C-alpha cells in the first residue's frame, strides 16, 4: 500500500497528524542530556551505552559507572536497547542524547503498531481514539523520550500482539515466529513483559493443528529468556556488585508495602491518571470494561488485569518508580476509548443535541490542551542549579582527575554525578561520608571526592582526613587525597 493510498483513509490521516503533533511536543528537548525526569535511571542506562564504546563492546558483559572498585560488570536485563544506541554512536559519534532519539523512534513504532493492531482486532474508530489517548497520557509523554528501555519493551509487546493477530487471521507461520520473537525480546529487554504472556496467548489460536507449533516456539523462546536471566544472576553474584539492577523484589517487601494507603493511592493515580485530559475517567473505564465483558471480548480486560497484577506483586518497584506503570497504559487507553465511544453512541441516539454539545466540548478541550502540552514541554528547557552543575562536571575534573581514577560523589545513590564527570566509583549520601573514615575510602582506592553543595561539616571532615580541596566552582567541590 502506498503512502497516498494509506492517507486517503480519514482515520489513518488523523492518526498520522496526531503522531506529527506528538513528535512536535517532544522535539524541543530531544537533544538534552539525561538530566531531567529519572536522571538516575537514564544515566545508568547511558553509562552502559558509553562503556560499550569505551571499555568493551561485549554485549554479554554490560558495565555501569557506579561500580565502586569493581569492574562494573553486573547482571541486568538484556541490554539490547543500550547496544542499539551504542551502534548509532559508533556511526554518528557519541552524543549524550542519542538514546532519546532511539526511544522516540520506538515510541512512534509502538503507537503505529498499536493503531494497526486495534484496527484489525476491533475497528478504526476505537483504534484511533485509543491511540490518541495513549499518546497524551502524561506518563507516556514523559518516557517517550527518556533514555530508558521501557518504551522499547512496550513497543515490542504491542508488535508481538499485532503479528499474533495477523497469524490468527491468516495462519501464516512467519507471523507467529515474528510474534514470538518480539515477545521474547520484550521480556529480555524488561522483565515486566513476562506478566503479559496471558494476553499473548489469548490471541494465538490453540486449535489442534496449531497447538504443537505454538508450543514448540514458546518453549524455545522461554528457554532463551530463562537462560539470559540465569546468566544475569551469575554476573550479579560473581562480579562484586550483587543485585545492583534488580534490587529488593522479595515477597516480604511487597507484603510490607501492600497495607499502606499511600501505595494504593499511588496505583490509583496510575490508573485514573492525575492529569487525564477528560477529567473523571473512572465512569468511562467502567463503561468500557462492561461493554467488552458483554461482548465477550476479554483481551483488554486480561491485559489490564495482568498489568495491574504486576504493579501489586512487585509493589517494591511500582510504588517508587512510575515507569513500571507504562504496561498499564495501552489497555487503559482501550478501555477508556470503548467507554467514551459507548457513551457517545448512546447520546447520539437518545439526544442528538446533547451529543453535539459533547463533541464541541471535546473539540474545545483539545484546542486548549494541545497548546498547553506543548507549552509544558517547552517549559522543561529551563534547568535547575543541580542539573546545570551536572553538565559542567566533566570539564571541572578534566586535567585534575585521571580518567582511570576512582572517585566518590555525594550523588545519594544516583550515578548522575559519576556519569557526567565521566569517572567511575561510588555514589554516597552526605551521611555516608560523615559516618565513614577517610582511611577507609583511601584504602578502597578513592583518590578523589567530588561533592555538590556539601554542608560545611562535611567539607571540614574531608579536609581533616588527608584530602585537599583542589577546585571549587559554584556549588561543586573537588578534593584530592594527599600523597
Average pLDDT over residues 369-394: 71
Pairing of strands 476-481, 467-473: antiparallel
* 150-154-160 Cα angle (round to 5): 140
pLDDT band at residue 29 using 50, 70 and 90 as cut-offs: confident
441 neighbors 68 (Cβ within 8 angstroms) = no
pLDDT at position 2 over 60: yes
pLDDT in the model for residue 375: 56
pLDDT digit string, tens, across residues 72-123 = 999 999 999 999 999 999 999 999 999 999 999 999 999 999 999 999 999 9
Distance separating alpha carbons of residues 275 and 273, to the nearest angstrom: 5
* 131-133-139 Cα angle (round to 5): 110
Tell me which of 273 and 260 has the higher pLDDT.
260
pLDDT in the model for residue 278: 43
Residues in the chain: 483
Tell me which of 153 and 438 has the higher pLDDT.
153
pLDDT in the model for residue 277: 45
Confidence (pTM): 0.91
pLDDT band at residue 279 using 50, 70 and 90 as cut-offs: very low
Which cell numbers hold the place of 4? 497516498
pLDDT band at residue 282 using 50, 70 and 90 as cut-offs: confident
pLDDT in the model for residue 440: 66
pLDDT in the model for residue 381: 57
pLDDT digit string, tens, across residues 325-357 = 899 999 999 999 999 888 878 877 777 777 677
**pLDDT more than 70, % of the chain:** 91
Dihedral angle sign, alpha carbons of residues 8, 12, 17, 19:
negative
pLDDT at position 242 over 60: yes
Pairing of strands 424-427, 406-409: parallel
Candidates 413, 406, 447, 415; CA nearest to 428 is: 413
pLDDT digit string, tens, across residues 173-210 = 899 889 999 999 999 999 899 999 999 988 987 667 77
pLDDT band at residue 28 using 50, 70 and 90 as cut-offs: confident
pLDDT in the model for residue 115: 97
Provide Rg for the chain, Cα atoms: 25
442 neighbors 466 (Cβ within 8 angstroms) = yes
Distance separating alpha carbons of residues 212 and 438, to the nearest angstrom: 64
Tell me which of 208 and 263 has the higher pLDDT.
263
225 neighbors 184 (Cβ within 8 angstroms) = yes
pLDDT in the model for residue 376: 58
Q: Residue 424 pairs with which residues in a beta bridge?
A: 406
Average pLDDT over residues 29-44: 90
pLDDT at position 448 over 70: yes
Distance separating alpha carbons of residues 74 and 139, to the nearest angstrom: 29
Distance separating alpha carbons of residues 410 and 406, to the nearest angstrom: 14
Candidates 192, 115, 94; CA nearest to 149 is: 192
322 neighbors 261 (Cβ within 8 angstroms) = no
Mean pLDDT of the chain, nearest integer: 87
Tell me, letter by letter, the H, E, C secondary structure of the chain.
CCHHHHHCCHHHHHHHHHHHHHHHHHHHHCCCCCCCCCHHHHHHHHHHHHHHHHCCCCCCCCECCCCCCCCCECCCCCCHHHHHHHHHHHHHCCCCCHHHHHHHHHHHHHHHHHHHHHHHHCCHHHHHHHHHHHHHCHHHHHHCCCCCCHHHHHHHHHHHHHHHHHHHHHCCHHHHHHHHHHHHHHHHHCHHHHHHHHHHHHHCCCCHHHHHHHHHHHHHHHHHHHHHHHHHHHHHHHCCCCCCCCCCCCHHHHHHHCCCHHHHHHHHHHHHCCCCCCCCCHHHHHHHHHHHHHCCCCHHHHHHHHHHHHHHHCHHHHCCCHHHHHHHHHHHHHHHHHHHHHHHHHHHHHCHHHHHHHHHHHHHHHHHHHHHHHHHHHHCCCCCHHHHHHHCHHHHHCCCCCCCCEEEECCCCCCHHHHHHCCEEEECCHHHHHCCCHHHHHHCCEEEEEEECCCHHHHHHHHCCCEEEEEEECCEEEEEECC
pLDDT band at residue 370 using 50, 70 and 90 as cut-offs: low
pLDDT in the model for residue 38: 85
pLDDT in the model for residue 73: 95
Range in 86-90, 368-372, 457-461 the model is least confident about: 368-372
pLDDT in the model for residue 36: 85
12 neighbors 65 (Cβ within 8 angstroms) = no
Amino acid at each position: 500500500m502506498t503512502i497516498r493510498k494509506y492517507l486517503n483513509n480519514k482515520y489513518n490521516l488523523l492518526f498520522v497528524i496526531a503522531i506529527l503533533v506528538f513528535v512536535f511536543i517532544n522535539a524541543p528537548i530531544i537533544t538534552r542530556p539525561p538530566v531531567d525526569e529519572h536522571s538516575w535511571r537514564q544515566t545508568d542506562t547511558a553509562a552502559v551505552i558509553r562503556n560499550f564504546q569505551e571499555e568493551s563492546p561485549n554485549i554479554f558483559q554490560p558495565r555501569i559507572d557506579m561500580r565502586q572498585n569493581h569492574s562494573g560488570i553486573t547482571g541486568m536485563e538484556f541490554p539490547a536497547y543500550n547496544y542499539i544506541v551504542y551502534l548509532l554512536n559508533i556511526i554518528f559519534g557519541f552524543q549524550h542524547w542519542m538514546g532519546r532519539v532511539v526511544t522516540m523512534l520506538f515510541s512512534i513504532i509502538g503507537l503505529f503498531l498499536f493503531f494497526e493492531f486495534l484496527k484489525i482486532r476491533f475497528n478504526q474508530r476505537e483504534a484511533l481514539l485509543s491511540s490518541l489517548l495513549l499518546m497524551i497520557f502524561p506518563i507516556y509523554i514523559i518516557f517517550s523520550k527518556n533514555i530508558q528501555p521501557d518504551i522499547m519493551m512496550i513497543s515490542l509487546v504491542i508488535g508481538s500482539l499485532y503479528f499474533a493477530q495477523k497469524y490468527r487471521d491468516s495462519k501464516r507461520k512467519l507471523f507467529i515466529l515474528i510474534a514470538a520473537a518480539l515477545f521474547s525480546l520484550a521480556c529480555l529487554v524488561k522483565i515486566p513483559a513476562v506478566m503479559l504472556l496471558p494476553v499473548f496467548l489469548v490471541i494465538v489460536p490453540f486449535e489442534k493443528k496449531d497447538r504443537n507449533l505454538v508450543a514448540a516456539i514458546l518453549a524455545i523462546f522461554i528457554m532463551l529468556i530463562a537462560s539470559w536471566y540465569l546468566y544475569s544472576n551469575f554476573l550479579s553474584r560473581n562480579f562484586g556488585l550483587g543485585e545492583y539492577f534488580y534490587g529488593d523484589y522479595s515477597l516480604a517487601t511487597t507484603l510490607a508495602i501492600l497495607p499502606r494507603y499511600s501505595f494504593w493511592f499511588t496505583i490509583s493515580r496510575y490508573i485514573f491518571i492525575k492529569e487525564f485530559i477528560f477529567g473523571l475517567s473512572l465512569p468511562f473505564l467502567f463503561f468500557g470494561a462492561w461493554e467488552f465483558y458483554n461482548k465477550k471480548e476479554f483481551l483488554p480486560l486480561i491485559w489490564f488485569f495482568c498489568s495491574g497484577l504486576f504493579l501489586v506483586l512487585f509493589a517494591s518497584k511500582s510504588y517508587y518508580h512510575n515507569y513500571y506503570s507504562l504496561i498499564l497504559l495501552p489497555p487503559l487507553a482501550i478501555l477508556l476509548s470503548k467507554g467514551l465511544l459507548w457513551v457517545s453512541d448512546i447520546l447520539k441516539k437518545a439526544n442528538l443535541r446533547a451529543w453535539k454539545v459533547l463533541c464541541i466540548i471535546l473539540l474545545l478541550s483539545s484546542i486548549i490542551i494541545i497548546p498547553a502540552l506543548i507549552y509544558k514541554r517547552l517549559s522543561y528547557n529551563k534547568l535547575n542549579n543541580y542539573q546545570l552543575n551536572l553538565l559542567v562536571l566533566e570539564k571541572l575534573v578534566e586535567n585534575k582527575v585521571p580518567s582511570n581514577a576512582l572517585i566518590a560523589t555525594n550523588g545519594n545513590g544516583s550515578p548522575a554525578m559519576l556519569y557526567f564527570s565521566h569517572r567511575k566509583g561510588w555514589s554516597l549520601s552526605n551521611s555516608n561520608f560523615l559516618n565513614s573514615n577517610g582511611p577507609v575510602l583511601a584504602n578502597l582506592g578513592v583518590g578523589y571526592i567530588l561533592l555538590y553543595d556539601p554542608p560545611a561539616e562535611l567539607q571540614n571532615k574531608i579536609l581533616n582526613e588527608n584530602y585537599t580541596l583542589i577546585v571549587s566552582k559554584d556549588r561543586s567541590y573537588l578534593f584530592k587525597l594527599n600523597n
